[in-house]
Structure 1
Amino acid sequence: MGQAPGYRPEIDGLRAVAVSAVVFFHAYPEYVPGGFIGVDVFFVISGYLISGIIFDEVAQGSFTVTQFYTRRIRRLFPALILVMSTVLLASWFILLPDSFVRLGAQVAASSVFAANFYFWFQSGYFSPDTHTFPLLHLWSLGVEEQFYILWPLAVSLLAAPRRWWTAILLVGALSFGVSVLLDHHRDLDFYSPITRAWELMAGAILAWRERHAPLARVANPDAVVAIGLALVVASSLLIDQKADYPSWRAALPVAGSMLVIAGGARSRLAALMLSNRATVLTGKISYPLYLWHWPVLVLSAAVKFLPLTLLERGLAVVASYALAWATFALIETPIRFGALSSKRIGLLAGGMLATAIAGFVVVQSDGFSGRFPPELRAAAAERPIAWRFGRCLLDLGSQTEFADECFEHVRPLLSVWGDSTAGSLMPGLRVLQSRQPSGLVQVTASSCMPLLSGPISVACAENNGRVRQILSSIRPDVVLLHANGPLDVSTRTGWSNTLAALKLIGPRIIVLGPVPSWKRGLPEQALSYYITRRQLLPARSSSFVNNLWDDEQARMFFTQQGAEYISAWQVFCNADGCLTRLNDHSPAAIDSVHLTEDGSIFLIDSIEGKLLKALRPRDK
């Protein structure tokens, strides 16, 4: 490596590799499980290119903060404003009020480059609900721009190359160390600019060495590039969503990116693989492609009953490429490379401010709920207070103890044990309690079936052990078991162990089978139906709904185990389909399997006679 180079097409090729990894991770996570490492590659490229520009301008005495941020505005704002505005407009017709409110908050946060902080407190990048956040991917822009608030100022103030080198090493080492130390705090480690700064510093190392301490020429730059590309590709295929990331694992794609940049200028392999016309074009449109692909995938899925098929995901990717090229050619290039004027910069800044205000207005207006009929607005019901989430319906990731209010001391005493779907029975059980005085005990935990063995997590197994001890101590008259999950070979042993343990305690045991499982989620299904047909979903539907258990087999199994079995499916479903609404307007479920308050009351009302019979004193 000699003097700082001019335009290097292989770096655009490396951008193409990075953006392709991210796009195909989002579209085909089953095939590219670690494609999210493409963002790390982008950070290295950004650190290399932008640090190099800052070093040169400070050394020449031409650096100004105004000029630096003017370039950032011209580079980032045009495509970002277009994408966020388009997503807001499309979501007006697609998203229910609660989801639209969340989108408004995402737009507002992204407009001030704080999306990473917003998602830090809202959703993990690998959480199951990520498909409900159309602008989740903008977290990386937040990290990068937060870094560039401080880095140009630091370089300008330090003013000497040796001081820059010290700063690069100090910031990089501290950032990497913090990332490794925080690897068990996934969201903090993933979203924080502090734990990501070392990746940008990795690029800054290359930029500094080119200018002030050139490395000796490598005899075989092709080998260097090959190793670098192998590290990037291997990372995208071998690292997955279960890994603590970034931590030390991000060193693999970061090191790979550094090697490609270091050896790429003299490598024939880089020229062949990264500097060809198609790859360079993808690199040139990588920024708008990154912006477009995720909202296209998310909003496409939002208008369907089911997740996108492989073909549909492929079409979404093709559409993203087309939008990216059009944005690059018609919006980005004319503004970025056109005549510079303070008026144009003012318009861009004003456009970003207007976008932020639009997002804020969406939040303050509660998502403009009047966009949809009352039946659809009701379908967006939130988790009822009666579930007592965080107190009697535990999140085992952070909670292990039930609150005192979960235990009543009135006889007869009914105890509810199960997962969050059991917690959703509480509104109906409260109504039953008002009619027939009795005590209620709620010992429920999210994603934790009431099994004493079988395919459950360690936290769930520990929780169920505590519940067994609680029930043994309070000795309820009736235990109502309910959960969302399969009844197969792997779970039957667990159910048998649970029932055997309860028999030793002595209550009457009722197993309530799962409620209907709506594959896409009932509110989303109702919304999709309305968007595509401009009609309400029929009051009963047989499309995209499943019964998780075979009722006859379940009844036989639990009866043989000494428990009474009640089918929830038969309450909600008949030959015409399953109830989608109650009383012509109230939705039956708030998602795939959790009942609304009215749905819970309807279910408990329907089986009231069996519950009251179980609560009566036994014949002596």
Structure 2
Amino acid sequence: MKFRYDINALRALAVILVVFYHFNIPYFIGGYSGVDIFFVISGYLMSKIILKGFSTDTFSFIDFYFRRAKRIVPALVILVLFTVLIGNFFFFPTIESKTAEYGISSIFFISNIVYYYNSGYFDLSSKTNALLHTWSLSVEWQFYLIYPILLFVLKTIYHKNRMIFQCIIISLIIIGFSSMLYMSNKNPSFSFYSLTSRYWEMLIGCLIVLNEEYIEKNISIKIRKIISLICFVIIIYFVATKNDSLLWPGIYTLIPVICTALIIVSNVSISIFKLRLIQYMGKISYSLYLWHWVIFVLFSSIGFENLEYVPLILLLSLLMAHLSYSYIEKYDFKFNKSIIYLSISGILISTIFYFYPISKFVYGEKELKLADFAKDYKKHQMIKQFKTGECFLYSKSKYEDYKKNVCLEIDKKRKNVLLIGDSHAAHLSYSLNKYYKKNNINFLQATTSYCFPIINPRGREENVKLVNYIFSDFVPKNNKKIDLVIISANWKDMQGYTYYELKNKIGELIKYFEDKKLNYIFLGQTETYKFPFPEIIAKKQIFSFIKEENFISKNTLETRDFLLKTIPKDKYIDLYKIKSIKHLSKDKKTPYIFDDNHFTTFGTEQIVEFISSKYNIL
């Protein structure tokens, strides 16, 4: 296939967008759409290869799969080996074992599936997953496996009637796009990681192949150059102005996808596409995509990810990408089982470190126990603290699991306080219940994971049912018997809402309470860390340069400021970085947060003490 400057320039644009987004560089808030650009490019190139092979009767499944493996596997396996090995010196055993597990899933190209099933509410933050970005490679490879077979089945139609063939492709695109829109609202995590929500982007590439000859004959080069330039600018403008809280993939995914398709189908080389820097970035785009996130996570694990460190991280990323491109991508792997041996080596080494992480010998026993705090806490303490499966619906709970007779039993002889919200309400329930029992007040709890306590919220159907029941049934029937409603949520997660939408939803909730003359109070946004807090505090005891504040997510401060402007001051209790709260118990065994944002009872006891001493919560 003839080399095309425009496609290489698109690769450069895509990788720059993704890298700058991951590095938190301003004005690249929509940079993750670079992955969608890659999907369209891949779909086009694969369609071109397969359909051309059909036309000349030279297509070979074995040759196709080997060429894909030759292009993708060697650089990926080397990256996995590096990450698993070096991770032992940056990560504690829990994360190191996970990294090894993710390395194996990446080599098998099922990491997108593994990440989806590991994307539970209390799982390790994505910031700790140095191989998180391999999900897109898994999606592409899964597409490569299925796509040639699909086209082979349609081969006869392709030869006999191109119009019918094109209609079939368009139908599949519409089905995929519609499925994506539906799943993005119902199950955003599944929609993000799943091939079923992404394949339509790659099928757009097939439409380009089917129509590029017609476009070239009927539209002048001048007009096509203008279209390409405009689309290039639109992508950049969209990335710079996109609201990060928008659902993705979603309706707006059409913008980078259509613009990329128009640039490819225009098939022109404008001067900006031929710039040496852009062409170089396009050549190393795959290796740069692989290496940048690993290096960023390694730096992040020691608190070095602020803007002042970005030039160094970027320089190292470019260096590793250059080496990977020059000595791995360009190496001519023959079909001599070298790729298979390399893959097996990666799998075996990752398996060894999964069971026997070297980091066990890097850190001291006390630090290891502290870093591993969350594992035991979730097993033995969290269920009791959150009332999981009883008054708190987890990600896999059913609506019927919620025990109304236990959690929402109104006491006619005492005052009643209702706690509603997500896990940030649930983690306070044990300490609040304890406080109210001492004061002879009845405590009610209605909490559910990843579902805001607002009127008609988004989220998992089972969880939404509970929230809707509270506002449409329970509160209207009992509003005169409820003396206080406490609202607490991890608003930072946004859950697909824009700040504007969330402001309106919170305003709607406030009006709801005031119309019913209910006393209410919002508990404010608490800090969220980029890494599990127990690991941060454990590293801090070893390395003097580790600072807790370097690990606090900036989004939590932004969310806190948003809430302060949205909620009446007398109805909002600010809980962000409370100075009086101790972060580690006297015996240095219990941190105040057990993951990256959920408090232990050691932490919640302090919060309730702080609240009750300064505010009237009955």
TM-score (normalised: structure 1): 0.73
Contact 2:100 2:351 in 1 (8 A): no
Contact 2:15 2:289 in 1 (8 A): yes
Per the alignment, residue 257 of structure 1 pairs with: 260
Q: How does 1:534-613 map to 2 (within 5 A)?
A: 578-591=582-595, 594-600=598-604
Per the alignment, residue 181 of structure 2 pairs with: 183
Distance 2:516 2:408 in 1: 18
Judging changes above 3 Å, is the alpha-carbon distance between structure 1 residues 185 and 230 closer, same or farther for their aligned structure 2 residues? same
**Equivalent residue of 1:373, what SS?**
helix
Runs (5+) with no aligned partner, structure 1: 453-458, 550-556, 616-620
Per the alignment, residue 385 of structure 1 pairs with: 383
User: Of 356, 362, 368, which residue of structure 2 is paired with 1:373?
Assistant: 368
Q: Does 1:532 align with 2:543?
A: yes
Distance 2:479 2:261 in 1: 61
Q: How does 1:130-169 map to 2 (within 5 A)?
A: 130-160=126-156, 161-162=158-159, 165=162, 166-167=164-165, 169=167
Distance 1:145 1:438 in 2: 58
User: Of 423, 436, 445, which residue of structure 1 is paired with 2:426?
Assistant: 423
Q: Does 1:344 align with 2:341?
A: no
Contact 2:6 2:267 in 1 (8 A): yes
Distance 2:91 2:399 in 1: 35
Distance 1:421 1:253 in 2: 35
Per the alignment, residue 330 of structure 1 pairs with: 327
Per the alignment, residue 218 of structure 1 pairs with: 220
Per the alignment, residue 230 of structure 1 pairs with: 233
When Rg is computed on C-alpha atoms for both structures, the one with the higher figure is: 1
Contact 1:94 1:302 in 2 (8 A): yes
Deviation at 1:223, TM superposition (A): 1.9
Deviation at 1:141, TM superposition (A): 1.2
Per the alignment, residue 403 of structure 1 pairs with: 403
Per the alignment, residue 553 of structure 1 pairs with: none
Judging changes above 3 Å, is the alpha-carbon distance between structure 1 residues 442 and 610 closer, same or farther for their aligned structure 2 residues? farther
Distance 2:513 2:203 in 1: 58
Deviation at 1:77, TM superposition (A): 1.0
Per the alignment, residue 312 of structure 1 pairs with: 309
Q: Does 1:321 align with 2:325?
A: no
Contact 1:206 1:262 in 2 (8 A): yes
Judging changes above 3 Å, is the alpha-carbon distance between structure 1 residues 7 and 123 closer, same or farther for their aligned structure 2 residues? same
Deviation at 1:433, TM superposition (A): 9.4
Identical counterparts, % of pairs: 24
Deviation at 1:27, TM superposition (A): 2.0
Deviation at 1:134, TM superposition (A): 2.8
Per the alignment, residue 209 of structure 2 pairs with: 207
- 1:321-354 superposed Cα distances (whole Å, 9 cap, x missing partner): 22111111122212xx25x142313313323543
**Equivalent residue of 1:441, what SS?**
strand
**Equivalent residue of 1:28, what SS?**
coil
- 1:505-562 superposed Cα distances (whole Å, 9 cap, x missing partner): 9xxx9x8987985766632431441463499x99xx999899999xxxxxxx97xx9x
User: Of 6, 21, 27, which residue of structure 1 is paired with 2:23?
Assistant: 27
**Equivalent residue of 1:73, what SS?**
helix
**Equivalent residue of 2:588, what SS?**
coil
Which deviates further from its counterpart, 518-527 or 106-115?
A: 518-527
Deviation at 1:80, TM superposition (A): 0.8
Judging changes above 3 Å, is the alpha-carbon distance between structure 1 residues 190 and 210 closer, same or farther for their aligned structure 2 residues? same
AA in 2 matched with 1:308: E
AA in 1 matched with 2:337: K
AA in 2 matched with 1:376: A
**Equivalent residue of 1:442, what SS?**
strand
Contact 2:33 2:239 in 1 (8 A): yes
Runs (5+) with no aligned partner, structure 2: 456-463, 492-502, 562-568
Deviation at 1:75, TM superposition (A): 0.8
Deviation at 1:378, TM superposition (A): 1.8
Per the alignment, residue 293 of structure 1 pairs with: 292
Distance 2:522 2:63 in 1: 67
Deviation at 1:81, TM superposition (A): 1.1
Per the alignment, residue 552 of structure 1 pairs with: none
Contact 1:415 1:440 in 2 (8 A): yes
Which deviates further from its counterpart, 96-105 or 495-504?
A: 495-504
Contact 1:96 1:367 in 2 (8 A): no
Contact 1:112 1:356 in 2 (8 A): no
Judging changes above 3 Å, is the alpha-carbon distance between structure 1 residues 243 and 588 closer, same or farther for their aligned structure 2 residues? closer
Judging changes above 3 Å, is the alpha-carbon distance between structure 1 residues 480 and 99 closer, same or farther for their aligned structure 2 residues? farther
Q: Does 1:47 align with 2:46?
A: no
Judging changes above 3 Å, is the alpha-carbon distance between structure 1 residues 471 and 133 closer, same or farther for their aligned structure 2 residues? farther
- 1:362-398 superposed Cα distances (whole Å, 9 cap, x missing partner): 89x9999998432232256437102124652458999
Deviation at 1:228, TM superposition (A): 3.2
Judging changes above 3 Å, is the alpha-carbon distance between structure 1 residues 416 and 329 closer, same or farther for their aligned structure 2 residues? same
Q: Does 1:170 align with 2:168?
A: yes
Per the alignment, residue 196 of structure 1 pairs with: 198
Judging changes above 3 Å, is the alpha-carbon distance between structure 1 residues 240 and 92 closer, same or farther for their aligned structure 2 residues? same
TM-score (normalised: structure 2): 0.73
Deviation at 1:150, TM superposition (A): 1.9
Contact 1:179 1:189 in 2 (8 A): no
Distance 1:350 1:475 in 2: 62
Per the alignment, residue 99 of structure 2 pairs with: 103
- 1:470-520 superposed Cα distances (whole Å, 9 cap, x missing partner): 7646567xx69585799xxx9999999999999989xxx9x8987985766
Per the alignment, residue 522 of structure 1 pairs with: 533
Deviation at 1:289, TM superposition (A): 0.8
AA in 2 matched with 1:346: I
**Equivalent residue of 1:75, what SS?**
helix
- 1:6-56 superposed Cα distances (whole Å, 9 cap, x missing partner): 222332222111111211222236412222222222122212222222233
Deviation at 1:185, TM superposition (A): 2.4
Residue-pair matches, total: 565
Deviation at 1:240, TM superposition (A): 3.6
AA in 1 matched with 2:209: A
Distance 2:100 2:318 in 1: 25
AA in 1 matched with 2:585: R
Judging changes above 3 Å, is the alpha-carbon distance between structure 1 residues 462 and 292 closer, same or farther for their aligned structure 2 residues? farther
Contact 1:80 1:291 in 2 (8 A): yes
- 1:114-134 superposed Cα distances (whole Å, 9 cap, x missing partner): 222233444499x99543433
Deviation at 1:72, TM superposition (A): 1.5
Per the alignment, residue 456 of structure 1 pairs with: none
Deviation at 1:107, TM superposition (A): 2.7
